[in-house]
């Protein structure tokens, strides 16, 4: 379920949104018009190298549009509270970056302006990311790049064991068992009791036809049975219930896991270990012929309702610019993410071959909020609670979801 703090924050934001509409962002009044020479921006890329890489894209758009920018970066955990504060003081930024699962919740408060108001072209974008940015039929933002999950594998270890990268669950279990030796496990993943654990579970659930609208279905529990089998069979550490995705990466880099479930944001860290030969494949499916479906991660750039129509129009141009082909390719190449315009996939993979499997995975990836919208956090909590129950032996996979749903 949503935490009380989260509910309170969103309720307060909904109450404050009308106040924000009567106010304005930096400069201009409720009906502000005329030339726009500056835009304020809030995002959570507050650490290098991401901060500077995104800054380069922002600077390109500022130059193209003939505006200066006043950028504020905040920690990701503080962003929603920052939006609340800015709404209360009637100083919402002209351009607001949001984690994609938050877009529908903020749009529901009336705090964002739909891009159709400004005739922004949303054609050619991956369906999943548009779905994440859509509320009640309106698209509220664009994401220049996204990320997802895959299976990394240690090429040397698999070759020595005569194991091929797995494409099905049975192949994954067989490979993981064969690769488990001494203090090395065959596979590592994050089953932690946070959204990270739910995020890592989704591709196994979705690829099997499981659905967040019915977490007690057999197709969902089958996916959890796979994880339980890997742990109880000794092919994955029982510590996965405590591991974040960064911890999983550390296990893989240290040679204590031959394979891992993780995302492309780990590539810079993997590159720091030149003796580690690795590659990646899409998330395995239960049966050959099924489609591998993983979740989409990434940030969406939006236009808040500030009351200054001229600035909102310019902000919409800025959002469109950030997601131009040039910026998508530049950001994706620099940050190991995937362009959201599907037509760019071929060119991107030719530039960054390491991203081939992730780019392929994005083509069928889904938004976490696509079906449940604002109710997604409740489902995510049920998922990670069920994972904890099953992997600690407190419940069978089927019972774990029933207990977690009832709680």
Strand arrangement, sheet containing 141-142: 68-73, 38-43, 95-99, 299-302, 141-142
The structural domain count of the chain equals 2
Using an 8 Å Cβ cutoff, are 251 and 134 in contact?
no
Any domain includes 367: no
What is the residue range of 267's domain? 150-294+372-406
Q: What is the Cα–Cα distance from 86 to 181, expressed in whole angstroms?
A: 54
State whether 241 and 197 are in the same domain.
Answer: yes
State whether 157 and 234 are in the same domain.
Answer: yes
State whether 212 and 339 are in the same domain.
Answer: no
Tell whether the model's pLDDT for residue 282 goes beyond 90: yes
C-alpha of 365 from chain center: 11
Tell whether the model's pLDDT for residue 317 goes beyond 90: yes
Which residues are CB-neighbours of 274 under 8 A, at least 6 positions away? none
Q: What is the Cα–Cα distance from 167 to 162, expressed in whole angstroms?
A: 15
| DSSP bridge pairs for 73 | 43
- Quick: pLDDT tens for 359-389: 999 999 999 998 988 889 999 999 999 999 9
Structure confidence at residue 407 (pLDDT): 74
Structure confidence at residue 80 (pLDDT): 85
Tell whether the model's pLDDT for residue 23 goes beyond 70: no
- Structure-model confidence comparison of residues 23 and 235, the more confident one: 235
pLDDT band at 34 (very low <50, low <70, confident <90, very high): low
State whether 181 and 238 are in the same domain.
Answer: yes
| DSSP bridge pairs for 146 | 338
The percentage of the chain sitting over the pLDDT mark of 90, rounded to a whole number, equals 80
62-66, 90-94, 260-264, 396-400: lowest mean pLDDT where? Answer: 90-94
CATH of the domain at 15: 3.40.190.10
Tell whether the model's pLDDT for residue 220 goes beyond 60: yes
Tell whether the model's pLDDT for residue 31 goes beyond 70: no
Structure confidence at residue 215 (pLDDT): 96
Running DSSP on this structure, what letter comes out for residue 292? Answer: P
Structure confidence at residue 83 (pLDDT): 84
Look up the pTM and report it.
Answer: 0.88
């Amino acid at each position: 379920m949503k935490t009380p703090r989260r509910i309170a924050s969103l309720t307060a934001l909904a109450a404050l949104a009308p106040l924000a509409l009567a106010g304005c962002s930096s400069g201009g009044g409720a009906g502000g018009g005329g030339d726009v020479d500056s835009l304020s921006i809030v995002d959570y890329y507050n650490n290098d190298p991401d901060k500077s890489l995104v800054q380069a894209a922002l600077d390109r758009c500022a130059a193209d549009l003939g505006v200066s920018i006043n950028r504020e970066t905040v920690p990701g955990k503080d962003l929603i509270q920052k939006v609340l504060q800015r709404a209360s003081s009637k100083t919402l930024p002209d351009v607001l970056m949001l984690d994609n699962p938050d877009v529908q919740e903020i749009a529901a408060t009336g705090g964002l302006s739909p891009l159709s108001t400004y005739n922004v072209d949303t054609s050619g974008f991956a369906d999943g990311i548009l779905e994440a940015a859509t509320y009640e039929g309106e698209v509220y933002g664009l994401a220049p790049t996204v990320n997802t999950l895959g299976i990394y594998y240690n090429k040397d270890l698999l070759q020595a064991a005569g194991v091929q990268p797995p494409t099905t669950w049975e192949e994954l279990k067989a490979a993981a068992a064969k690769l488990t030796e001494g203090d090395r496990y065959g596979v590592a993943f994050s089953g932690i009791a946070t959204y990270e654990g739910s995020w890592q579970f989704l591709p196994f659930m979705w690829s099997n036809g499981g659905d967040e609208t019915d977490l007690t279905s057999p197709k969902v529990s089958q996916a959890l049975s796979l994880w339980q089998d890997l742990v109880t069979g000794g092919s994955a550490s029982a510590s996965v219930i405590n591991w974040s995705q960064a911890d999983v990466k550390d296990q893989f880099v240290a040679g204590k896991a031959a394979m891992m479930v993780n995302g492309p944001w780990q590539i810079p860290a993997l590159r720091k270990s030149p003796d580690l030969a690795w590659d990646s494949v899409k998330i395995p499916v239960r049966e050959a012929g099924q489609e591998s479906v993983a979740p989409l991660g990434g940030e969406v750039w939006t236009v808040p309702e500030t009351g200054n129509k001229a600035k909102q129009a310019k902000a919409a141009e800025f959002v469109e610019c950030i997601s131009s082909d040039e910026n998508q390719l530049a950001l994706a190449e620099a940050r190991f993410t995937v362009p959201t315009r599907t037509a760019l996939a071929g060119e991107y993979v030719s530039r960054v071959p390491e991203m081939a499997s992730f780019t392929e995975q994005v083509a069928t990836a889904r938004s976490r909020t696509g079906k449940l919208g604002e109710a997604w956090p409740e489902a995510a909590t049920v998922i990670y609670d069920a994972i904890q129950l099953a992997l600690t032996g407190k419940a069978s996979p089927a019972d774990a979801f029933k207990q977690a749903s009832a709680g």
